[in-house]
Structure 1
Amino acid sequence: MTAVQLQKKEGSRPSEAASGTVKVWDPIVRLFHWTIVSACILNLFILEEGKYWHRQTGYVVAVAIVLRVIWGFIGTRHARFGDFFPTPGKVRAQILGMIEGRERRYIGHNPVASIMMLGLMALLAATALTGWMTTLDAFWGDKWLEEVHGAIANGIMMLAFIHAGAAVIESWRHKENLVWSMVTGRKKA
């Protein structure tokens, strides 16, 4: 595909085509991503469970998720859920392509990455909700809710490690730094 064809297909500007990169992740997507990364590191490894700053960080996550969901409907092309919603056919094709070593490269999220992203967002929302519920009089001191909250948080930690590992492996396989693209917002064309 020529640079002009890519430019028309992806909606990029001539300067982007000439540089060999395209703008993929807008500032809101990148801010959401790094806010969640920071909040998870803080709440899972640094801040004391249930204390003031742990709760405040959880509220930041809740607000970030609400904003990201809204942005998923009104945001830029690759931020919209419609651009990367993982249908069974797309997921099957991606997995078979990965096994055969010739999967399609996506500029935005690939179908398997989409499942991870949506799953993490659902678990983050559930963690924020159960954390908030533990502050209510109706659930004050209920150990079962604290255990559910902790189990979901541990699930987030496991998925986050898988996600980070997959980003490193896919960076190597596709010869592009996917982590850096979430900093700059750009990927190779």
Structure 2
Amino acid sequence: MTGAPLTSPAPAVLAWDLPTRLAKWSLAALVGLAFLSRYYGDAGLVWHQWNGLAILVVVVFRLFWGLVGGSTARFAGFLRGPRAGLRYVAALLKGRPLHFLGHNPLGGWVVMALLGLVAAQALTGLFTSDDIIVYGPMTPVVSEETIRSASVWHQRLYPYLLALIGLHVATNIAYSLFGRDNLIRAMVIGTKPAASYADRAPATPGGIGRALLCLGLAVLVVFGGIALAGGDPFP
């Protein structure tokens, strides 16, 4: 009696390198922790401020990595113009969606919007104060009007950030459950099944050494920038 024929696992190609994945999940965790520390168990908001600084470091790292990182992490590789976005939507509506190894034309701009909103939320936090015990790192060097304005915007941006995060999560879940691309799995393990993609496959990784350099520069930009501006980088 012969056994069933052995089948080799489907080939996979690199979609997201390790630094890109670590940046994404670190940012997601830090945003969640910032929310928890704002409302639970952090009366002086010390951890909340450290969360904000860490978020800025990850955002700055991601900006650097978008210039020198892996092929699917680079802005030049996934930021496309309006016509590319319209073609993608048209193909999607016709039931013949284009499949991308990295971000699709709409997803790329959602990523940029998320980075922009997260950065704005963290930056305004540097200038906020409750006039009692909480003072942001940059409050000693700006006017009361700037502090009041930053505090207002820090609260005002929050619902928009939550809405965009919700849209991003829902879209990724929908693609993973009903589409051909399991985006969540790919962002965890870094690979996608080998297939015909609209962008280059496999992805080219950016390299750990380059990532560590970008991280070091990001720490220097955030903490050094606050210190050079006369603020207190250590809550």
Fold match, TM over 0.5? Answer: yes
How far the C-alpha of 1:59 sits from its partner, in A, is 0.6
Instruction: Indicate yes or no: 2:62 matched with 1:57.
Output: no
Instruction: Report the counterpart of residue 121 of structure 1 in structure 2.
Output: 115
What letter is aligned with 1:175?
R
Instruction: Report the counterpart of residue 42 of structure 1 in structure 2.
Output: 33
Deviations 1:103-157 (A, max 9, x none): 2110100011001100001111111111112221325584432221122222111
* Structure with the larger RCO, 1 or 2 (CA within 8 Å, 6+ apart): 2
Q: Secondary structure at the match of 2:38?
A: coil
Q: Secondary structure at the match of 2:154?
A: helix
| Alignment equivalent of 1:178, drawn from 173, 183, 198 | 183
| Alignment equivalent of 2:87, drawn from 93, 101, 107 | 93
Instruction: Report the counterpart of residue 11 of structure 1 in structure 2.
Output: none
Q: CA RMSD in A?
A: 1.9
| Alignment equivalent of 1:31, drawn from 22, 43, 58 | 22
Instruction: Indicate yes or no: 2:67 matched with 1:73.
Output: yes
Identity of aligned residues (%): 28
* Structure of greater Rg: 2
Q: TM-score, normalised by structure 2?
A: 0.68
Deviations 1:32-57 (A, max 9, x none): 1011110111112x112671111101
Instruction: Report the counterpart of residue 166 of structure 1 in structure 2.
Output: 171
Q: Is the Cα contact below 8 Å between 1:26 and 1:76 reproduced in 2?
A: yes
Higher helix fraction: Structure 1 or Structure 2?
1
Q: Secondary structure at the match of 1:47?
A: helix
How many residues are treated as equivalent by the alignment? 172
Task: Provide structure 2 residue ranges, at least 5 long, that are not aligned to the other structure.
Answer: 1-8, 129-135, 195-235
Task: Provide structure 1 residue ranges, at least 5 long, that are not aligned to the other structure.
Answer: 1-17
1:62, 1:106 → 2: CA distance? 29
Instruction: Indicate yes or no: 2:13 matched with 1:22.
Output: yes
Instruction: Indicate yes or no: 2:162 matched with 1:157.
Output: yes
| Alignment equivalent of 1:147, drawn from 143, 146, 152 | 152
What letter is aligned with 2:169?
A
What letter is aligned with 1:100?
K
- Distance verdict in 2 for CA 1:182–1:110, change over 3 Å: same
- Distance verdict in 2 for CA 1:27–1:87, change over 3 Å: same
